Amino acid sequence: MAPDNKQPQGERFFTPGASGFRKAVEQRSAVPMTFLFTQVPRWVAPAMLVILLLAGFAVTNPLGGVAVLPVLAFVGWLAYLSWPSLSAGGKLLRVAMLTFLVLLVATRFGAI
């Protein structure tokens, strides 16, 4: 007998009725997410993000901006993937975090 691969009610890995671009991003994100959350110890990703963010705060030249760019990319990626399921408050929080990171990078590159 084949195992039942259905997820619990309300739990979906892919966005139902997604556009072509969103569907492609979600499908291409499945492999790195699976690797990140199953093959790498759980503490590695948050630790690396914190280290890079702290380096971005500590180093006030463009090298600090370069350190924050992977954090910005990761947070943006997760925000994009979770956007359809978020409430208005969750969306506002994601936009605020991304704005903060963009401003941090801009200050390190001397744009502000």
More confident residue, 102 or 83: 102
More confident residue, 3 or 87: 87
The model's confidence at residue 101, banded by pLDDT at 50, 70 and 90, is: very high
Max CA distance (Å), the chain: 62
79: left (phi over 0), alpha (psi -120 to 50) or beta: alpha
In this predicted structure, what is the pLDDT of residue 74?
A: 93
Whole-angstrom Cα distance, residue 53 to residue 65? 9
Q: Which residue matches tokens 């744009």?
A: 111
In this predicted structure, what is the pLDDT of residue 14?
A: 67
Q: Tell me, letter by letter, the H, E, C secondary structure of 12-79.
A: CCCCCCCCHHHHHHHHHHHHHHHHHHHCCCCCHHHHHHHHHHHHHHHCCCHHHHHHHHHHHHHHHHHH
pLDDT (mean) for 88-100:
97
The model's confidence at residue 2, banded by pLDDT at 50, 70 and 90, is: very low
In this predicted structure, what is the pLDDT of residue 35?
A: 81
What value, to the nearest 5°, has the Cα angle with vertex 99 and ends 98 and 102? 85
Nearest to 77 by CA among 30, 10, 7, 12: 30
